[in-house]
Amino acid sequence: MTKEQVLERLKFDVELRGLSKHTKAEYYTKVKIFQDHFNKPATELGVEDVREFLHYLTTKKKLASESVNTYNSGLRFLYGVTLNINLNLKQIPRHRILRKFPDILTQEEIQIIFNACDNLRDKCILMTLYGAGLRLSEVASLKVADIHSDKMQLFVRNAKGGKDRYALLSQANLEMLRAYWKTYRPKEWLFCSRNNTGTHITPRAVENLFNKYVSKAKITKNVTVHTLRHCFATHLLESGTSIYHIKQLLGHSNINTTCFYLHLVKIESLDVTSPLDRMAESEKANG
C-alpha cells in the first residue's frame, strides 16, 4: 500500500464514523507528516517507529504536550482502525497535560479592547464572542438566521462534539448586531469573509483582529481569543450565576470541565470567612 492509499483509507474510516471535519483534517495531516518523516507508508512502520516519532516531536521539535497528543490520537486511529493493527498503547503513552490558570481580563480591560475597535464589524464580533461565551469556530460560522431575538438566544450549530445548542444573547449584543446588520446587510453568514464572497470569516481572521485590538489597547496579559470565553464564565460565576447554568451556556458535556472556572474566581468576590476567624470571634465572645 502506498502512502497515498493509506491516507485515502484513513479518510474513508473517519468519514464512516461521522467524525467532525476538524478531526478528519487533524488525523489526515498528522498521519501524512508521520509517513513523510520516514518516507514510508504506515504499513511498513510499527510501534517503535511511532515511539521514535513522538519522541522526536517532543525533544527535537519541542511541541507542546497538547500538540503531541493530537499526533498520538491520529496514529492510534490509523493503526487501530484503518490498518486494524493492535498496538501496545502502554508503549505510546499520552502526555500528561498540566493545566495552568489562564490570564483573565477584567470587564474594564474588555471594554478598553471594544473601544479600541476601529470598525463596527470587528467590535460586533468581539462583543458576540464575550457576550455569549462562544468558541472561535462558533462565532465565525454564525448565520443571520441563528439570531433569535424573540427568545434572546443565539443558535450554535454543530459545535464541539457535533452538538447544537443555544447560547445567551444579551441586550447590548443584540443592539450591536442590529446596528451591524443595518450597515453591512449580511445575507447568509453573519460575519462574511472580506476575501471570498459567499463564505464566512475564517477563525484565523478572527484571531488576527483580536490580537490587533489587544495590542492597540495596550493589554499586556497573555491572552488569546479563547480568553473571552474564559472571561464570560468567570465573570458569570463572580456575579453569582450557578455553575450548572454556566455549563449549559458553554455547551460542556461534563460538569467537571465547567468546575475548572471555580478556580479562576477571585477570592474576594466569594465573601467567605475562614473558619479560623469564626473560631477567634467565638473565643472573644465567650471570653
Q: Tens digit of pLDDT for each residue in 31-81? A: 999 999 999 999 999 999 999 999 999 999 999 888 999 999 999 999 999
Q: Which residues contact 273 (CB under 8 A, 6 or more apart)?
A: none
DSSP string, the chain: --HHHHHHHHHHHHHHTT--HHHHHHHHHHHHHHHHHHTS-GGG--HHHHHHHHHHHHHTS---HHHHHHHHHHHHHIIIIIS-----GGGSPPPPP--PPPP---HHHHHHHHHH--SHHHHHHHHHHHHHT--HHHHHT-BGGGEETTTTEEEE-S-GGG--EEEE--HHHHHHHHHHHHHH--SSBSSB-SSSTTSBPPHHHHHHHHHHHHHHTT--S---TTHHHHHHHHHHHHTT--HHHHHHHHT-SSHHHHHGGGGGS-GGGG----HHHHHHHHHHHH-
Average pLDDT, the chain: 89
Q: What does the pLDDT read at residue 173?
A: 93
Contact (CB, 8 A) for 147 and 169: yes
Q: Is 28 a catalytic residue?
A: no
Q: Is 229 a catalytic residue?
A: yes
Q: Is 261 a catalytic residue?
A: yes
Q: Tens digit of pLDDT for each residue in 143-200? A: 999 999 999 999 998 777 678 889 999 999 999 999 999 999 998 999 988 776 678 9
Q: Is 226 a catalytic residue?
A: yes
Q: Which amino acid is at 205?
A: A
Q: For residue 141, which of 190, 88, 73 has the smallest C-alpha distance?
A: 190
Q: Per the structure block, which three cell numbers stand in for 242?
A: 450557578
Q: What does the pLDDT read at residue 287?
A: 63
Contact (CB, 8 A) for 68 and 54: yes
CATH superfamily of 3-91: Tyrosine recombinase, N-terminal domain (1.10.150.130)
Beta strands 153-156; 165-168: pairing state: antiparallel
Q: Is 9 a catalytic residue?
A: no
Q: What does the pLDDT read at residue 81?
A: 95
Q: Per the structure block, which three cell numbers stand in for 77?
A: 486511529
Q: What does the pLDDT read at residue 268?
A: 59
- Active-site pick, 123, 229, 235, 247: 229
Q: Is 218 a catalytic residue?
A: no
CATH superfamily of 107-269: Intergrase catalytic core (1.10.443.10)
Q: What does the pLDDT read at residue 44?
A: 95
- Active-site pick, 3, 30, 123, 135: 135
Name the pLDDT band for 279 (thresholds 50, 70, 90): confident
Name the pLDDT band for 267 (thresholds 50, 70, 90): low
- Active-site pick, 32, 160, 212, 216: 160
Q: Tens digit of pLDDT for each residue in 76-111? A: 999 999 999 988 889 999 988 776 778 889 999 999
Q: What does the pLDDT read at residue 36?
A: 97
